[in-house]
Structure 1
Amino acid sequence: MLLDGINHIAIISKDVERLGNFYRKVFDATVGPTRDHGPGETMTNIGIGPATELNVFVISGNTEARNQTPMWGRGRIDHIGLAAASPTAFETIRARLIDAGAGDGQVNDFGTDLSMFFRDPDGLEGEVLIPKG
């Protein structure tokens, strides 16, 4: 295979501070500084894994972060799937998502993986997965 996973996912947010606090609290993510990225635009990197980050853009006048329609109607990227580092991490994340009011804690058995869904403060749907076994 020529690739080694995902480097980043670029998303648009209304409030990067709130979003960063959520990912830090629930996933132990690291939130980098916010910097200018063009006229009326900022970018903040949120590290969500050893080599993976969210590149979060806040763009003056852009309303795309509000567009959250039912699954499969949200555009080219419908949701993000995050890999838990271990079964213990999966359970820790599950408890934190419940505490944050971001998920109901339901664990889905998808055959080879266990999965749980959540919504971040901007309404983006996410999924945390752990291989079974």
Structure 2
Amino acid sequence: MLLTGVDHIAVLTRDPARLGAFYAAVFDAEVGPTRPHGQQGEETMTVVRIGPYTELNVFTVPSSDEADRQTPMWHRGRLDHVGLHASSYAAFATIRERLVAHGASDGTVNDFGAAFSMFYRDPDGLEGEVLVPKAADGSHPVTG
């Protein structure tokens, strides 16, 4: 393969501090400062590093209503949800506990054949999914 993964995902928000705090608390993300961005003078960008090679580029654009628009799955446009790869079963279990504690997930773990998965919603309503590949022994990432 010519790629090593996803570099960044650009998202719109009304509250970059709240969104950054969520990703820091649940995923141990590193949240950078909010800086001016673009040529119109109204945009800002905050980089939220969610993995060694992956970040969320969090934009605020006051003149845009897109950050407020929420629609059901498969009706969200070209980017429907974000799938994040947990580094281990232990990381998956920790993330699950944190998502439930933040009210962002009910903690349901799905068996998708080659991987286990759970869904969450961040404070802005963006649906996310955390996945971990199945271990060779078939154990469950939460119950063992």
TM-score band by shorter chain is: over 0.9
TM-score using structure 2 length: 0.91
What residue is the counterpart of 1:28 in the other structure?
28
How far apart are residue 2 of structure 1 and its match? 1.0
Greater Cα shift, 118-127 or 64-73: 64-73
CA deviations 1:16-72 (Å, max 9, x no partner) are: 000000000000000001110031100000000001000000011211112121111
Over the aligned positions, Cα root-mean-square deviation in angstroms equals 0.6
Which ranges of structure 1 fall in alignment gaps of 5 or more residues? Answer: none
TM-score using structure 1 length: 0.98
Larger Rg: 2
- Aligned counterpart for 1:122 among listed residues 117, 121, 124: 124
SS in 1 for 2:105: coil
Greater strand content: 1
Establish whether residue 43 from structure 1 lines up as the match of residue 36 from structure 2. no
Question: What is the number of equivalent residue pairs in this alignment?
Answer: 133
SS in 1 for 2:50: strand
- Does 1 or 2 have the higher relative contact order (CA < 8 Å, sep 6+)? 1
- Counterpart Cα distance in 2 of 1:8 and 1:124: 15
Which ranges of structure 2 fall in alignment gaps of 5 or more residues? Answer: 136-144
Q: How does 1:1-133 map to 2 (within 5 A)?
A: 1-38=1-38, 39-133=41-135
CA deviations 1:112-133 (Å, max 9, x no partner) are: 0000000000000000000001
- Counterpart Cα distance in 2 of 1:30 and 1:71: 28
SS in 2 for 1:93: helix
Task: Spell out structure 1 runs of 4+ moving beyond 2 A.
Answer: none
CA deviations 1:68-102 (Å, max 9, x no partner) are: 21111001100000000100000000000000000
SS in 2 for 1:78: coil
